[in-house]
Amino acid sequence: MRAAAPVWTAGNGCQPGRHGNLGGLSLSGIQMKSVINRVRHGLAAALFLLPSLAMAQYHETSEGQAFIQDMVEQFGFEASRVESLLAEAERKESILDAISRPAEKTLEWHQYREIFMRQERIEQGVEFLQQYREAFERAEAEYGVPAEVIAAIIGVETWYGRYKGKHRVLDALATLAFDYPPRSRFFRSELAQYLLMTREQGFDPEELIGSYAGAMGYGQFISSSYRHYAVDFDDDGVADILNNPVDAIGSVANYFRAHHWQPGEPVAEQVRNVLPEDSPLLTRELKPGLTVNDYRQAGLAPDEGMDDDAKARAVRLAGAGGPELWLTYHNFYVITRYNHSHLYAMAVFQLANALGEKAGQSEQQNGVGSNT
């Protein structure tokens, strides 16, 4: 706001409370006091209105009106229903702050790894695998995705359902749809998908809680992913990944199969760090575009069982003990379809390995699967 011009200044030869000059007119002390009081009251009123101006309800904006019209014309919603939901949605500054600094973009690998490779998370992951053994075994059989990979996704996303988010999904999606220009188009689409999903599943759109980006449930599906990949894995008539871990297990497995997970194929392996910093073999794209043979020719030694023509990508990470060089393969890329970050995919990969190893040890100790 532009500041109002002062009624008087100490530099103009006038004494406060005596005489001043406003627009060339001389004012008495009483008149001056009256003018000052009016200005003060006007400023106070303006300042009082600022929050409401900044927090204009989304249904009153041109973008909000266009969204309402689209939901009516394209999906058959009642205009009054969509308008009332946008009127109910609240702008959250905390959501805008959170999306501007995701951990994948602010932490080095060794810092990021410490978050997820905690002993407690591993032990609770094994408990989760054991508790829902039948669902995990069925998911692995039907979708071809290892149980420990499914569990690792849920472990990284929500610590096996313990932390599913703290933001109302309606607020998160509306805030990002209308107050986050860099990705407003994407989040308006997700808001539309959210209203469709809640209508289809019979959920109250004003009640669901999720992440700052509007992701929901055990596996933190965004609305479009929920509609495309969530499955009713326990056949109770509802695909509920919000509160039903069995549906969540099947849904994560379905997501991976849809993104072409290759059963039995490797994910990644650490190799000797021999590539120079400026090596063209250190590519930026998440999708592997070179071959195992390209890296063998450069002096790396991938597993002997890897075919020369298998697609691969080298990534160097800042480990706790120094730089680490990893060769990542197609299934690693599939994990990045869940979250477009190689740090995220590496955390899932290493947690899955830890869960598989720990679960195997536990089964041996308990005599599960032994012939004796």
Taking each helix axis from N to C terminus, what angle separates 133-143 and 119-131, rounded to the nearest 10 degrees?
A: 80
**Please, are residues 229 and 258 in contact by the beta-carbon 8 Å criterion?**
yes
Taking each helix axis from N to C terminus, what angle separates 169-179 and 184-201, rounded to the nearest 10 degrees?
A: 150
| Runs of H (alpha helix) within the chain | 29-54, 62-75, 79-88, 93-99, 103-106, 109-116, 119-131, 133-143, 147-158, 169-179, 184-201, 223-229, 245-258, 292-297, 330-336, 342-366
Closest CA to 347 of 22, 48, 107: 107
Contacts of residue 263, Cβ cutoff 8 Å, sequence gap at least 6: 144, 145
> Phi and psi at residue 216, in whole multiples of 5°?
-130, 150
Closest CA to 109 of 323, 281, 300, 286: 323
Residue type, 162: R
**Catalytic pick among 140, 157, 207, 277:** 157
DSSP per-residue string spanning 259-292: TT--TT---EEEE---S-TT-TTS-S-SS--EEH
Helix (H, G, I), strand (E, B) or coil at 76: coil
How big is the CA angle at 334 (ends 311 and 111), to the nearest 5 degrees? 100
Q: Which secondary structure element, helix H or strand E, spans residue 323, and what is its range?
A: strand 322-328
Residue 157 designated active-site: yes
Helix (H, G, I), strand (E, B) or coil at 313: strand
Q: Residue 212 and residue 92: Cα distance in Å, rounded?
A: 9
Q: Residue 104 and residue 316: Cα distance in Å, rounded?
A: 15
Q: Residue 256 and residue 270: Cα distance in Å, rounded?
A: 23
Residues marked active site are found at 157
